[in-house]
Amino acid sequence: MTREPRGTRDRPGSLDRSGGSGDRGDSGPDLARRIPARVPARVGALESLRTVMQAMIASGLGAVLVESPLGPTGFLTAMDVIEAVAGGADPDTVWAGEIARPAPRTVSCTQHPADVGEEMTAYELEVVAVIDENAAVGVASALDVLSAVLRLAKEPTDHHRDR
């Protein structure tokens, strides 16, 4: 399920997918501004929604990666499960694969957190997949991105002068 952003499609300040630092005037990756990412729990596509929610609770992250024997098939957030159950899905008989959505939008951990937050807002995203060239893919929630933005705002650097 791909959502169109609220507002114009090619608005200034949109997320730079090149892995660079966006339009903030930064001169390369800065470890201090990295977006924190957590590795999501993994569940099989044939697991019940009840099992999915238990995996989310155990991991402390409101999202899971849905897998089949051939690899990842999709992604589920807590809101996806809540909407399914509220719509009448039986949490013991509906499978994760039945309601999984495609993997979330991908961002680089070195992108400016404010740019990531703007895109998450525009597309009404709960989570994004975060890629680090030296580590496995993780996910970041809106709160993770907000935390990175606030951390930057407190630092006495030139990063937020360009804002």
Could you state, in order of their start, the residue ranges of all structural domains in the chain? 31-36+104-154, 41-99
Two tokens, residue 122: 């525009």
Is domain 31-36+104-154 given the CATH code 3.10.580.10 in the classification? yes
Whether 31-36+104-154 and 41-99 share one fold: the answer is yes
Two tokens, residue 102: 């495609």
Provide the pLDDT for residue 15: 32
Task: Write the CB contacts of 14 (distance below 8 Å, at least 6 apart in sequence).
Answer: 115, 118, 119, 122
Amino acid at 80: D
User: Tell me: the pLDDT tens digits for 18-72?
Assistant: 333 344 444 344 544 578 788 889 999 999 999 999 999 999 888 898 988 887 7
Q: What's the topology of domain 41-99?
A: CBS-domain (3.10.580)
Residue 79: count of CB within 10 angstroms of its CB: 12
Higher pLDDT, 84 or 109: 84
Q: Are 43 and 75 in contact (CB under 8 A)?
A: no
User: Tell me: the pLDDT tens digits for 100-147?
Assistant: 998 778 888 888 999 999 999 999 888 888 887 766 568 888 888 998
Two tokens, residue 133: 């060239």
Provide the pLDDT for residue 22: 42
Provide the pLDDT for residue 100: 94
